[in-house]
Amino acid sequence: MYIVMVTPECAPVAKVGGLSDVVQGLAYELSIRGNAVEVILPKYDCMWYDRIWGLEKVFSDLWVPFHDQQIHCDVYFGFMEGVKCFFIDPHSDHNFFNRGQFYGENDDPQRFAFFSKAALEFMLQSGKHPDIIHCHDWQTALLPVLLYSQYWHRGMTHPRVCFTLHNLKHQGITGKFILRQVGLNPAEFVNQERLLDNFNPHAINLMKGGIVYSNFITTVSPNYAQEIQNSGFGYGLQHTLHVHGGKFGGVLNGIDYNMWNPEIDHTLPSHYSADSLDNKYVNKEALRNRLLLQHNYKPIISVVTRLDEQKGVGLIQHGIHYALAHGCQFVLLGTSPDPEINNQFLAIKHQLNNNPDCHLEISYNDELARLIYAGSDMMLVPSAFEPCGLSQMIALKYGTVPIVRSVGGLADTVFDADYSHRPYHERNGYCFQDLNNEGLESAMHRAIGLWYTYPQYFRELIQNGMRYDYSWNYPAVHYLNIFNYIKE
């Protein structure tokens, strides 16, 4: 099958959140299964260019109609971790992708509306007729709308569109003027059945447009698929998802075990697997040395995350104090685009400066992240909501017991040691429900208790988690089934 993924992010070169890892991991898995897979990204100035192999200009005559102009673009090609990628580079006064950041600009809806149109124009002009166009999040949601209302008439009758929702909190709610810019007549598209926002009568909702016009919509875990149809986690799109429920489902994300695997992770001081678990503790000692933590008989509880409200920052802060007061060491690696949140963590760091059991690192560093996954005993993921979550799956693979709030994809991947309905050998962590300190404490208390009182059971819990297969193996088959279904 010929699949083109159109996306605002792809690891490792354009990475803000988990979406980037998902696109890279899925694209790679689909291609090693014999499909022709290509990715289309904007050519951002702030990408990690040293991670692109063989970058060259391959197309210099792409003209994209936008508002009352024709915008000239160059298209580059390169490989990223074995994935083929085209990069669209527009030349205009808008300077769309040379802003020094991926998102956070006032004209984000316009920047990505342009990108969606340019991706289609590129496919048309270069004669690409993929079987499937796979779009990701609101940034590319206009693509199916444009495909069926403009490009179909220009001969692109073959491709079918799958649209994946990674986070309903961000929907691309914006002004109607965007439609005119991409050549769509507002009179035709601004109504309840199409792009009109369900709550703001003066706004359009790009994600809604993607849901209405795509041939299939997925989200990144089965449980989140339920939540966004039936609760406030749908952020106003519940009704739209019900109306289109016949072409909607949850597919659990995977992680790429070529990248996340303690048996081969070349950054680790010591490799290990479920059958050589003792070597994990060489990494624990290395982590302590690196962060100047005291060597003592205590578990290390860690957090590695983007410090976003979604991730439960208040509970993370409470977790630090609770862990230190209950015989644990605590390590955090994370940063926020919001300076206010960073300052809160810097204040706690300052307050705990002389505590030999604690280290907070308010930044991001891939190599340190890996040492933390490998060197800690437990990892906290107390999210307020979580479409899928990748860190708990990485933690499981690295033999670090996840302590999670049972929400979204966390509930699909972590099964409580005490209360799960699953058999013992399938239980792999600790879960809590209530989004408050007592909820968090109830799970931390049980996890810490097991570590101290029944170390052999704690070890079994670790091994249960390491034996799960959360690679792209199953999800890729699931996506291929969906692609085949809509292709017919």
Residues near ligand GLC, by CB under 6 A: 17-19, 22, 166-167, 220, 253, 386-390
When the beta carbons of 220 and 332 are compared against ligand GLC, the nearer one is: 220
Nearest to ligand GLC of 167, 270 (CB atom):
167
Using the structure block, give the residue that is written with the tokens 């966390």. Answer: 410
Residue 389 Cβ, how far from ligand GLC at the closest point, in Å?
A: 5
- Alpha-carbon dihedral of residues 220, 226, 227, 232, nearest 10 degrees? 120
SS3 state at 386: coil
Strands of 22-165, DSSP E: 36-42, 53-66, 69-80, 83-91, 132-136, 160-165
Find the residue with minimal CB distance to ligand GLC.
18
Q: Tell the smallest beta-carbon distance from residue 18 to ligand GLC (Å).
A: 3
In the complex, least distance from residue 45 CB atom to ligand GLC, rounded to whole angstroms: 23
The alpha-carbon radius of gyration of the chain (Å, integer) is 23
d(CA 38, CA 3): 6
Q: In the structure encoding, which two tokens stand for residue 318, read together?
A: 């409470």
Instruction: Report yes or no: 401 and 428 within 8 Å, Cβ to Cβ.
Output: yes
Six-digit token pair at 439?
Answer: 């909820």
The residue among 170 and 176 lying less far from ligand GLC, judged by its C-beta, is: 170
300 or 307: whose CB is closer to ligand GLC? 307
Minimum CB–partner distance for residue 305 and ligand GLC (Å): 10
Alpha-carbon distance 432 to 472, whole Å? 27
> Could you tell me the smallest distance in angstroms from the CB atom of residue 74 to ligand GLC?
30
For 406, half-sphere exposure in the C-beta direction (CA atoms, 13 angstrom radius) is: 15
Cβ proximity to ligand GLC: between 254 and 262 the closer is: 254
For ligand GLC, the closer of residues 14 and 19 by Cβ is: 19
CA distance 302 to 332: 6
Number of Cβ within a 10 Å radius of residue 390: 24
In the complex, the smallest distance separating the C-beta of residue 308 from ligand GLC, rounded to whole angstroms, is 8
Give whichever of 108 and 121 is closer to ligand GLC, judged by the CB atom.
108
CB of 166 to ligand GLC, least distance (A): 4
